[in-house]
Structure 1
Amino acid sequence: KQFRETLKEIEESKPDAVVLIDYPGFNLRLARALGKQSPHQKIIYYISPQVWAWNRGRIEQMARFLDLVLCIFPFEADLYNQSGLRAVFVGHPMIERLRAQKINIERDPNLLGLFPGSRLREVRKIFPVMLESVRQLQKQTRNMRFEVAAASAELARKMTEMLDQRPPDRQVIEIKVGETAAIMQRAFAGIVASGSATLEAAYFQLPFVLIYKVAWPTYLAGRLVVKVKYLGMPNVLADKEVVPEFIQHRAKPSSIIQAVRRLIENAHARERMISEFDTIAGKLGESGASEKAARAIIEEIHAKIDMKRVN
């Protein structure tokens, strides 16, 4: 119903261009339908689907019904243009938000940041692994404290319930809502769930390890379609393992803690990772991604209007 209503509204309003943002399941289908319904209408995609990860063959199909893709990663634009789909790199919109959240603070050598994700489903899988890692790390380094970044008050409540089942851990672990950026800047190292938080941690130069854990059917299905060497975007952008990845059955607390201790105790390992983060952050572009995207959209519309005049 929503799809048909959207299609009808676009047909009735007759815009010069339609800008589709993210949400590929809905938007790729909509773009295909719009291409048939209004073949002369400009269709622009902002924050493109990650087809480079699961099906590069779809790029040529997308080129049949998309006029322009506005990319947030530089390698996406190169890949699309090589495949015949016109694309422009505009930069990552999160840079503006993160820059505004920068604070002047020294890192606490006894503080480890925990970032278990923003969805309840992933928190349920990943937070217990983090708690067991904390328990083991406490045995080895008594002075460590831990701060957990909760994406919402609801997630904080759920994590508190999980934490209350482990009374000894409660004394050294604090759950904080809405303080992800601050924790990333004051912690000495971190354990981060795979997702956009890994790019945020890289931007704030927090040495960290990555965890990914889902239900086994989900993992096995993903293995069949995902075609990239690395899961974390910092590693994808660097095209090498800058951040240790602990995926599914490899997400064992003993292995995670060994990697975390290396980042805490080995100054050379810390400095090397932070140096790599500088390069990775540079690939996300400068601030002003939204303005560049808007400018590219306006230029595309003007090009269409100019073409009409010529014809």
Structure 2
Amino acid sequence: MPHLHIIAGEISGDTHASGLIRELQTLQPEMRFTGLGGQRMREAAGQGIEDWVEKAGVVGLWEVLKMYSYFKGKMTSSTEQILRERPDAVVLVDYPGFNLRLAKAVRAGGYTGKIIYYISPQVWAWKKGRVKVMAKVLDLMICIFPFEKDFYEKSGLPTVFGGHPMVDRVHSLRREWKREPNLVGWFPGSRLNEVRKLFPTMLQAAKAIRLQVPNARFVASAANERLAQQMRDMAEAAAMPEAKAWIEVGTVYDLMQRCQVGAVASGTATLEAACFGLPYALVYHVNQLTYMAAKLVVKIERIGIVNILAKRDVVRELVQAELTSDSLAAEMASLLTDHDRRAALEKDLADVVATLGEGGAYRRAAEAVIATMEK
């Protein structure tokens, strides 16, 4: 019975890993799975997956440092489990801070099975030198952006471009919604520290937008009920109790199709918004220590994947000090009132999305995993 150990550490990784698992089960129904992930992976693979995503999915240097002992313990237990059980392959899904260290640890411990990376880490943005190390410990990289294949292969790491899973996902989630005039969508992220940083600014921006666009309406996406309650509390603290009625849970993809414009937290959701054609601005704000540390290692001018793929500024990036309630309000008001600008942005987003492949990403990734395991 083939045995695959798979690790994802964030909600998006849990989603991608569960899609990969289901395709692997279709191709090899007898395959057994162990590892770390989230609820979707457990639903797909069973009790061999430990659900740790909610605790593991923290963002920021300081936030990670506060949980150092937790992550050290997970690193030790995961390494020991892999070396003890000797799975046929280990699949690491995104989450490079943990997963790349784990790959080196199990190789150093004598693991000789296949190590496959899915959802390639963006080392081209921050630590290009890591690619040489990755080429020594990994057997295959499965990337989801077309430009990444040449980047990794130049270092001798076998690489497959599997296409972006978002393409399939958007096809399945697309509805017959029509964009509602003057509806502004707030998408403050799926992590509590993101929401704490971004949603208060969005609330204040809403006040300023109404001064410029009096008939503007607002809706806010909460990833779960716990975050929704935090957002309701923020609305109360901002003396905007009416804003509690804006908050919806579990409707993010519908909102991305209904809203005329939006503001989206940096991360996976910005590409989702692009795939749904939502004219949006990217917003990003983290602890200043985290931001300063990131600036020392990040080697790219833009942080939004749409802008990186386009090699130019397609969407406006409001980052750190540039993100204020006034700057956010001005950008949303501009997109609401300037039809030509909004239409041009929609076309640019469609052009970028067209580079991501035509679907079937999880199936191609599963085929690549099995082919590598059988070598």
TM-score (norm 1): 0.91
Query: Measured at CA, do residues 190 and 11 of structure 1 come closer, stay the same or move farther in structure 2, by a change above 3 Å?
Result: same
Aligned pairs (5 A) from 1:102-251: 102-168=174-240, 170=242, 174-251=246-323
Segment of structure 1 superposing worse, 34-43 or 239-248: 34-43
Q: CA deviation at 1:78?
A: 1.7
Supply the RMSD in Å over aligned alpha carbons.
Answer: 1.8
- Give 3-state SS (helix, strand or coil) of 2:367's partner: helix
Hey, what's the Cα distance between the residues in 2 that align with 1:222 and 1:182? 33
Deviation at 1:23, TM superposition (A): 2.4
The counterpart of 2:358, out of the listed 283, 286, 302, is 286
Q: Single out whichever of 93-102 and 198-207 deviates more from structure 2.
A: 93-102
Q: Is the 8 A contact 2:213 2:333 kept in 1?
A: no
Q: 1:117-149, CA deviations, whole angstroms, 9 ceiling, x for partnerless residues?
A: 111111111111111110001112111110000
In 2, distance between residues paired with 1:129 and 1:173? Answer: 17
Which amino acid counterpart does residue 280 of structure 2 have in structure 1?
A: F
Q: How big is the shift at 1:206?
A: 0.6
Tell me which amino acid in the other structure corresponds to 2:268. S
Deviates more, 1:117-126 or 1:257-266: 257-266
The residue number in structure 1 matching 2:342 is: 270
SS at match of 1:190: strand
Q: Are the structure 2 counterparts of residues 34 and 215 from structure 1 closer, same or farther at C-alpha, using a change threshold of 3 Å?
A: closer
1:211 offset after TM fit, Å?
1.1
Q: 1:132/1:280 Cα in 2 relative to 1: closer, same or farther (>3 Å)?
A: same
Correspondence 1:252 to 2:324: yes
Partners of 1:18 and 1:193 in 2: CA distance: 31
What SS is found at the alignment partner of 2:136?
coil
Gaps spanning 5+ residues in structure 2: where? Answer: 1-72
Partner of 2:263, secondary structure, is strand
SS of the equivalent of 2:92 reads: strand
Q: SS of the residue aligned with 2:302?
A: coil
1:63 aligns with 2:135: yes
Match of 1:45?
117
For 2:223, give the aligned amino acid.
Answer: A
| Cα offset, 1:294, TM superposition | 0.6
Q: 2:166 aligns with which of 94, 103, 106?
A: 94
CA drift of 1:86 comes to: 1.6
Distance 1:61 1:105, change over 3 A: same
Residue matched to 2:31: none
Q: Which amino acid aligns with 1:263?
A: L
- Tell me the residue number matched to 1:17: 89
Alignment deviations for residues 55-78 of structure 1 (CA, whole Å, 9 cap, x no partner): 001101111111110111112212
Contact 1:145 1:173 in 2 (8 A): no
Q: Tell me the amino acid that sits aligned with residue 87 of structure 1.
A: T
Q: State the Cα distance separating 1:51 from its structure 2 match.
A: 1.1
Does the C-alpha gap of structure 1 residues 156 and 45 become closer, same or farther in structure 2, counting only changes over 3 Å?
Answer: same
Name the counterpart of 2:369. 297
Structure 1 distance, partners of 2:192, 2:240, is 24
Displacement of 1:167 in angstroms is: 4.0
- Aligned partners of 1:73 and 1:89 also within 8 Å: yes
Residue among 26, 31, 37 paired with 2:98: 26
Larger displacement relative to structure 2 (260-269 or 143-152): 260-269
Q: Which residue of 1 aligns with 2:16?
A: none
What TM-score do the two structures reach when normalised by structure 2? 0.76
Please report how far the alpha carbon of residue 163 of structure 1 lies from its aligned counterpart in structure 2 after TM superposition: 0.7
Conservation of the 8 A alpha-carbon contact between 1:146 and 1:172:
no
Mind listing any 5+ residue stretches in structure 1 that lack a counterpart?
Answer: 305-311
Per-residue CA deviations over 1:194-245 (Å, capped at 9, x if unaligned) read: 1111111101101011111112111111111111111111111111110011
Paired residues of 2:183 and 2:260 also in contact (CA < 8 A): yes
The number of equivalent residue pairs is 303
C-alpha distance 268-291 of structure 1, shift in aligned 2 (>3 A): same
**Alpha-carbon separation, structure 2, partners of 1:295 and 1:62:** 21
The one-letter code sitting in structure 1 at the alignment partner of 2:118 is Y
Q: Distance in 1 between matches of 2:251 and 2:111?
A: 47
Percent identity (aligned): 45
- Alignment partners' CA distance in 2, 1:222 and 1:23: 16
The answer to whether the 8 Å contact 1:137/1:257 transfers is yes
Deviation at 1:287, TM superposition (A): 2.1
Letter in 2 for 1:100: S
